[in-house]
Amino acid sequence: MKFEIPPFQQARILVVGDVMLDRYWHGRATRVSPEAPVPVVQVGSEEGRPGGAGNVALNLAALGSAASLIGVIGADPNGEDLRSRLSAAGVYCDFLVSPSKPTITKLRIISQHQQLIRLDFEEPHDAADLNGLQAKVESLLHGAQALVLSDYGKGVLTDNVAGLIRMGRQQGIPVIVDPKGTEFEKYRDATLITPNLAEFEAVVGACPNEDSLVEKGQALLKSLNLEALLITRGEHGMTLLRPDAPELHLPARAQEVFDVTGAGDTVISVLAASLAAGESLPEATALANLAAGLVVGKLGTAAISGPELRRAKLREHGTGRGVMTSDQLLVAIQDARAHGESIVFTNGCFDIIHAGHVGYLTEARKLGDRLIVAVNDDESVRKLKGAGRPINPLERRMAVLAGLEAVDWVVSFAEDTPEPLLERFQPEVLVKGGDYGIDQVVGGNFVKSYGGRVEVLEFLDDCSTSAIVEKLQDRGI
C-alpha cells in the first residue's frame, strides 16, 4: 500500500487517560551480589520519560500535532517532573492532582541494554481523584479533531469511558481507544479500539488462524457498535476490521525488535493524528504500522517524530537517493531539512562522465549535506551543444551520476536553464564548474536573494566532454 505523510501539524487531539512517569537507571553489572544471587548494578545515569497516556501525547507532539492531555498526578516531585517534561515537548497538560496518592511511577534498572527489574509505585485512582474530570474534558474537547482514551487500568477510565465516548461522538470527532482488561463493553460506540492480540483473545477466545480472528473480530464489532477494530499482532503485524469492508492485514515492519514498551502508544497516536489530519483509516493504519516498526527498535518508552516517519516512508518507496522526479525530490528535500541537512545544487549536461566531473562533484558535495545534480534532457543538450549531442541519452547519463558516491539525487529538466528547479528547491548552495565568474552563474542572483550562496569550482585540467569527443573524432572513432 502506498501512502503519503499527512499534515500532522494541522491536527489537534485531546488525550485522556492514565499518566505515569517512566524512570530508567542505567549502569554496569560486572559482579554478583554476595548477599543473594542477583547482579550488582553500578548506576551511572538516570532518565525519566512520560509513560501511559503521557507517552501518547508525547508521540503526538513529536509528530507535530497539537496535543492536550488530561490525567491524574500526585502532589509530589514526580508529578511536577512529568508535567515539566510534557510541557517542554509542547503538550498542554490539564491534570487533576490527587492529594493522597502518588504519581504512578515505574522504575526500570537497565544494564547492557537489558532490563533487569521493574519497580512500580502506584495506587489506583478512585472517584475522589477524578472530581472535575468531565468539566476539564468538556472545556478542551470543542477544539479537538480526535479524542484518544488511553486506558492502562489505573482508574482514570474505569467508570468514565462511556460518558467520554458519548461526548466525543456528540462532538462529531473520532474516538479512539487503547483498551485494557476484559470488560470491553464499556468501550461501546467508540469509533475504533486497538487491542493487542492477547487482549483481544482474552475477550473473544483463542484465534488459531486468521479466519477465526476475522470472524470473532467482526462479531465484536457488531456487538459493541464499533466502526473499526485494529488488532496489533506483534511479529504478525496488524489486522484492521470494519463492518462493511474486507479485512486489511499488514505485515510487521520492524527489522529488529529491541523493546516493545510503548509501541501501542505510538500506534494510537499515529492513528489519531492521521485521522485528525484527514487521512483515511486504511492509510492511517499503514502509517501506524510503519511507526510501530520504528519504535520497537528503541529502548523503553519512545516517541516517533514526523521526520523519522517521513524518512522511513521514503525508504519504503525506494526514494532515499538516486534518480527522482521533481515531485519526489521535493519530498526528499523537505525530509532532509527536517533533519537539519543543507542542500547543494549543481547542473549540467554530463554527457560523458570523466575524472573532471567526478572530482568536481566530490568537491561540491563537501559544501553541504546533500547534493542534487540536475541534468539537461536530450533536447536541451542539442540546443546547447549542437547536432550529434548528447552522445549518451538522458537515462544513461542519470544512471551513471546516481551511481557516484558523492551524488544523492539526480533530476532532469527540459528548460534552457535550471532556474525553475532552483525556485522550487531553493538550495542553500548553488555550485557551478568551470571558469565562470560568480555573477555569471545562471540562477545565482535568485539563490543569493533568499540568503543562499554561490560557489564556482574548477574542473581538473585537460578534462572536458568536448575535448574527449574531439579526440575520438580525430582518431576516426
C-beta of residue 193 within 8 angstroms of C-beta of residue 239: no
| Residue 203: Cβ within 10 Å count | 16
Q: CA–CA separation, 211 vs 161, rounded Å?
A: 30
Cα 188 to Cα 99, 156, 204, 220, 229, distances in angstroms:
32, 17, 15, 10, 12
Q: CA–CA separation, 271 vs 275, rounded Å?
A: 6
Q: Is the dihedral of CA 64, 66, 68, 74 positive or negative?
A: positive
Expressed in percent and rounded to 5, the helix, strand and coil fractions of the chain are: 40, 25, 35
C-beta of residue 240 within 8 angstroms of C-beta of residue 247: yes
Closest CA relative to residue 347, chosen from 396, 381, 391, 382: 381
Q: CA–CA separation, 130 vs 134, rounded Å?
A: 9
Of 18, 265, 335, 351, which one is the catalytic site residue? 265
SS3 per residue for 76-118: CHHHHHHHHHHHHCCCEECCEEECCCCCCEEEEEEECCEEEEE
Listed in sequence order, the DSSP H helices in 177-278 are 197-204, 210-224, 263-276
E strands present in 206-365: 228-232, 238-242, 245-250, 322-323, 343-348
Q: CA–CA separation, 146 vs 173, rounded Å?
A: 5
Look up cell 486468521; give the residue.
Answer: 210
Give the rounded distance of the alpha carbon of 186 from its chain centre: 32
Pairing of strands 114-121, 238-242: unpaired
Q: DSSP letter at 196? A: B
265 is catalytic: yes
Q: What are the residue numbers of the active site?
A: 265
